Structure 1
């Protein structure tokens, strides 16, 4: 069994542990309350700004006429809220990811250490503040890349390729640091990231694809605005669950890679000392 598949199966087995489910609640609660307050107080402002932007866009009139020709005039009022949600989703996902990295990942590592990696020495090559700084810097870089590549999202096939690549890179960079912060030294972490860059990136991409599934549910809820708050809250929890599962997947892969690295180092013959 490959390391990717082995770590995936182990992560899936751990994902429904009561402790793991509890770790999804903290990011869910913070993100739901925070973004709920933002959207509650600024919803009219945001939708008004979206309407103003749409009114200044020549394609909007053509789109509205198309709706009218099919008898869907009521959709005019939904476009601006839909646009606000589309713009908010990446920010909410990033918020949940950062909360998972800072609040839940330490709990994930502690549980795995106690249950499966108790013999692994803790060399503490990272810290909570290091994780926070690393996550923030990586997120800023990802958001800059997101903005820079936005025009390409309108061009096939880039609209289907860019989001998974960006989220995959972001998840891989954030989760790898946190997965190894407690047990690996700085040198060991760099070695593992260098040797397993592509498998780790693949885990990030798959996690990003999983994360796109609740986005569809969220987008659908905009068409039924009375249900939007309920569906939005449920979707944030689904994001949290998927990211905790991703944290487990990264943790299993990285800690197993660390075990093998130390075993290989221990078996390596010592270099002769020259007199």
Structure 2
């Protein structure tokens, strides 16, 4: 637990470095162009398809009945935008993690090398490996989101499931990228086995931090004219939080790697096996044995 708080403090200090703040630019621009362009050009078709789907959904009729019962008929118009925002959030966050993992985390690790100058590089990962690892983890994450999505509407699951899922995805992506240059594949697997719980705790904490811009985005979906501006601000907040998480995971993982190598170096090497004592063994035939006994 001390390592978690120690790495958190170091990550907080590192986040204020101008170089780390500059790392938010490229993922922010890519995400804004991708999702901003998609929503700009496809908002009307998306909303039309969503409203058509919701009009035939039993769940929507229940929601409308509940709104009517509470006298909130005017909120019917925001159900479709909120539905689109809720579906888009997992895709947006997953894409942000991929952009940051590919473009920003290597620079974060190079920045952290100053704190671990004696840590040799084993190059157990690669950019291509990071992409495939992120895609595989994202696919599992999206499948889990679809399976658990009905539970998100039931308390207390709506407050428990999303941070755990975000935490799992974040720890999977960030751990690989943080150790890609310095750890071998065997060392990375050993560290994940040893520190799985602390890594998941860091991931869940990052997921909770990411819930703030998520709530801001969902609430702005009801006010259409503010949505593009809030979307841009939300994307930048996501990038900032994920850069911080990269620093947090980086400090934790590199320190854990240094400790692992120190432990292995402290174990004395086994001496070579000694030859069997008692001299050479000569295999004699039975008649030779009798001749020796009679002599």
TM-score range, shorter chain: over 0.9
Separation in structure 2 between the aligned mates of residue 58 and residue 186 of structure 1, nearest angstrom: 49
Aligned to 1:264: 263
Over 3 Å counting, the alpha-carbon distance change for 1:165 and 1:70 in structure 2 is closer
Where does the alignment leave 5 or more consecutive residues of structure 1 unmatched? Answer: none
User: What is the aligned partner in structure 1 of residue 141 from structure 2?
Assistant: 142
The equivalent residue for 1:14 is 14
Indicate the SS of the match to 1:125: coil
CA offset at residue 153 of structure 1? 2.2
Distance 1:69 1:184, change over 3 A: closer
SS of corresponding position for 2:23: helix
After superposing the two structures, state which structure 1 stretch, 216-225 or 63-72, moved more: 63-72
Residue deviations 1:106-140, cap 9 Å, x none? 00001111x21122111111111111111111111
Deviation (angstroms), 1:160: 1.9
2:194 is the alignment partner of 1:182:
no
Q: Quote the Cα distance in structure 2 between the aligned partners of 1:35 and 1:235.
A: 12
Distance in 2 of aligned mates of 1:192 and 1:59: 45
SS in 1 for 2:104: helix
1:227 is matched with 226
User: 2:108 — aligned with what?
Assistant: 108
Structure 2: stretches of 5+ with no match in the other structure:
275-295
* Structure 1 residue 158, shift from structure 2 partner: 2.1
Superposed structure 1 runs of 4+ greater than 6 Å apart: none
Q: CA deviation at 1:42?
A: 1.4
Partner of 2:196 in structure 1? Answer: 197
Q: How does 1:18-29 map to 2 (within 5 A)?
A: 18-29=18-29
1:273, CA displacement in angstroms? 1.3
Q: CA deviation at 1:46?
A: 1.2
CA distance in 2, matches of 1:119, 1:146: 41
Query: Do 2:174 and 2:246's aligned partners in 1 also have CA atoms closer than 8 Å?
Result: yes
- The structure that has the greater radius of gyration is 2
Residue 270 of structure 1 aligns to a residue whose secondary structure is: coil
Contact 2:81–2:222 (8 Å) recurs in 1: no
CA-based RMSD: 1.6
1:148-163 alignment to 2 at 5 Å? 148-163=147-162
* 1:58 CA drift (Å): 3.9
C-alpha displacement of 1:156: 2.8
Deviation of 1:152 after TM superposition, in Å, equals 2.4
Cα distance between partner residues in 2 of 1:92 and 1:265: 41
The match for 1:86 is: 86
Measure, in 2, the Cα distance between the counterparts of 1:90 and 1:183: 30
Q: CA deviation at 1:272?
A: 1.9
Structure 1 equivalent of residue 213 of structure 2: 214
Q: Is the 8 A contact 2:94 2:138 kept in 1?
A: yes
- 2 CA distance for matches of 1:66 and 1:143? 29
SS at match of 1:82: helix
CA apart distance, 1:59 = 4.9
Distance 1:70 1:162, change over 3 A: closer
TM-score, length basis structure 2: 0.88
CA contact (8 A) 2:78 2:222 kept: yes
* Structure 2 CA distance for partners of 1:102 and 1:270, relative to 1, 3 Å: same
Contact 2:123-2:181 within 8 A present in 1 as well:
yes
Residue equivalent to 1:274? 273
TM-score by length of 1: 0.94
